[in-house]
Amino acid sequence: MNRRKMLSLLGISPALLADSTQAAGKKAKASKATSASGEKIEALNPRGTPPPIQLIPMAPRLSTLDGKTIYLISDGFPGADHFLDQIALWFKKNMPSVTTVYRLKAGGFADDDPKLWAEIKAKGNAAIMAIGH
């Protein structure tokens, strides 16, 4: 049996073996576990404590879409452009007063694109984002 499996069965983090000298010198919350031989082992939690989440409210809803401009934004995921084309066709057929504008966002889905956000704030009323999985 390898050491990593054995330690995980005992409930001990294999990270303890990586650098026990630094871990011993730090003051942090530790959990105590008892090994199979009965001796007590102290282990640091490798996950730490995450920072508190700052909630950002959603934008207010529009009362109507008539005469509004909706940005259709793709993050470049394969097939997202076809999906957004279908949404644009739907608006053209069912709500002809709505203007749709297609844009490809710079970077991946989590990357910021301040130039695009500024354009949407200045010229758009709403946005639909196609985020790939």
**Extents of the domains making up the chain:** 3-44, 69-130
Query: What is this structure's pTM?
Result: 0.58
Tell me the per-residue pLDDT of 54-84, one tens digit each, with 9 for 90 and over: 999 988 899 999 999 999 999 988 989 999 9
Distance of CA 54 to the CA centre of its chain: 14
User: What are the b/e assignments for 104-118, b being 16+ CB within 10 Å?
Assistant: ebeeeeeeebeebee
- How far is it, in rounded angstroms, from Cα 96 to Cα 60? 23
18 vs 61 pLDDT, higher one: 61
* pLDDT at res. 27: 44
**Chain mean pLDDT for the chain:** 82
- How far is it, in rounded angstroms, from Cα 34 to Cα 11? 9
Question: Is the pLDDT score of 133 beyond 80?
Answer: no
* pLDDT at res. 12: 64
- How far is it, in rounded angstroms, from Cα 64 to Cα 73? 20
